[in-house]
């Protein structure tokens, strides 16, 4: 199963880029992984929040195939532990999925169309984080899940 992470816009801060790169390489040790950064919406200042979300949705949907399993990282999503996340990944692998796609939206979240296409929504926390910070937090959790699945000592219970 290939795992992809779709992001809206570039990561702006060097400290986040460094952490993201580190965890991206660690994840690649365990599974085929691709991070796909979609460009920010042009002339966004002239658009409403809903228009921005709709355009971001169009860009995301161009990356997705009909058979892809889509998981939105959303503050309103299901709240699970690291162990439960690892179990979900194992379940998804067992279903024979070709591509597991995680999506981190832009600053305003997701459009209704993208919510409609998603198979699941997961939350990293009840707290709100910047969409840039979520990138690092999610990749750390993906790496943690890989180590849990492989019974390695990174995760302390």
* Domains of the chain in sequence order: 2-149 (3.40.1280.10)
In this prediction, residue 16 carries a pLDDT of 96
| pLDDT surpasses 80 at 157 | no
| pLDDT surpasses 90 at 31 | yes
Residues 6+ apart with CB under 8 A from 2: 31, 32, 33, 34, 98, 99, 100
Residue 122 bridge partners (DSSP): 78
CA distance 97 to 100: 7
| pLDDT surpasses 80 at 88 | yes
**Of 121, 139, 10, 114, the residue nearest 62 (C-alpha):** 114
Task: Give buried/exposed letters for 128-144 (b at 16+ CB in 10 A, else e).
Answer: eeebbebbbbbbbbbbb
Give the pLDDT mean for 122-127. Answer: 94
Give the pLDDT mean for 61-77. Answer: 96
């Amino acid at each position: 199963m290939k795992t992809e992470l779709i992001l809206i816009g570039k990561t702006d801060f060097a400290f986040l880029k460094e952490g993201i790169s580190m965890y991206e390489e660690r994840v690649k040790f365990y599974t085929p992984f691709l991070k796909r950064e979609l460009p920010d919406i042009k002339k966004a200042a002239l658009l409403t929040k809903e228009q921005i979300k709709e355009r971001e949705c169009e860009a995301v949907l161009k990356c997705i195939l009909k058979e892809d399993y889509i998981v939105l990282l959303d503050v309103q999503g299901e709240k699970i532990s690291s162990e439960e996340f690892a179990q979900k990944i194992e379940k998804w692998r067992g279903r024979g999925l070709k591509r597991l796609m995680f999506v981190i939206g832009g600053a305003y979240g997701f459009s209704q169309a993208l919510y409609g296409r998603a198979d699941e929504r997961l939350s990293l926390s009840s707290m709100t984080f910047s969409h840039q910070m979520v990138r690092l937090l999610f990749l750390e959790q993906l790496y943690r899940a890989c180590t849990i699945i492989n019974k390695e000592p990174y995760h302390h219970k």
